[in-house]
A = this chain, B = another copy of it.
Amino acid sequence: MGYYKSRGLRGSAFEELINLTNDKYKEQGLACIEKIPTPVKVTKINNEKRLIEEGYFEKKSSVDYIGLVQGYAVCFDAKETALDNFPLKNIHEHQLKFMQAFVTQGGKAFILVHFTKKDEMFLLPSELLFNYYEMSKNGGAKSIPYSAFNPMLRIYRKSGYYVHYLEALGTYLESFSTVRMI
């Protein structure tokens, strides 16, 4: 099975639930989050039919989601793992770099992680991700163990909010906040 299909199958259900949640957040005025599509390089186009006849997916330079939550700028990725840990190879170096640049500018970056076997979801702060990434480069473990995920940052489903991450985000912001509404 090829690249696109396997990608599609891997990420889509979780992402779709996040998209539905974001739609509801927007509807309720709770957040304004945009899903960044994977860019397509078009190499052949039928202008009359407005149809792309040839193209390919380009590497995304950033993360999956970016936006604003009540004055807080956030960006995040959504990842699933069938293991009992979170393999760092799930996050690409250009995504880490983007998150670091975003944090430097005063934003908050994180990963929404779904452990599919347990069916548990967590918010993984970028600070923790950066630490584990650095350690892995210096010979440390190549994954983040389940035990490192903070139960306070666990994400639950709630009446129509399939991945209701705003509660966990609130907890995260309280402990690490740098940007505030005035």
Contact of A105 among B51, B55, B70 (CB under 8 A): B70
Closest to A99 in B: B32
Stretch at the interface among A59-67, A136-144, A161-169: A59-67
Q: Once the chains bind, are B105 and A42 in contact (CB under 8 Å)?
A: no
Min distance, Cβ A27 to any Cβ of chain B, angstroms: 10
Q: Which secondary structure dominates chain A's binding surface?
A: mixed
Q: Once the chains bind, are B66 and A66 in contact (CB under 8 Å)?
A: yes
What B residues does A106 contact at CB under 8 A?
A: 68, 70-72, 181
| Copies of this chain assembled into the complex | 2
Would you list 25 pairs from A and B whose C-beta atoms are within 8 A, ordered by A residue?
A: A2-B45, A3-B50, A4-B42, A4-B45, A4-B52, A5-B45, A29-B101, A34-B61, A40-B52, A52-B52, A52-B55, A52-B56, A52-B57, A66-B66, A67-B105, A68-B102, A68-B106, A68-B107, A71-B106, A72-B106, A73-B73, A178-B182, A179-B182, A180-B180, A180-B182
The residues of A with any CB-CB pair to B shorter than 8 Å are 1-5, 26, 29, 31-32, 34, 36-40, 42, 45-48, 50-57, 61-62, 66-73, 98, 101-102, 104-107, 178-182
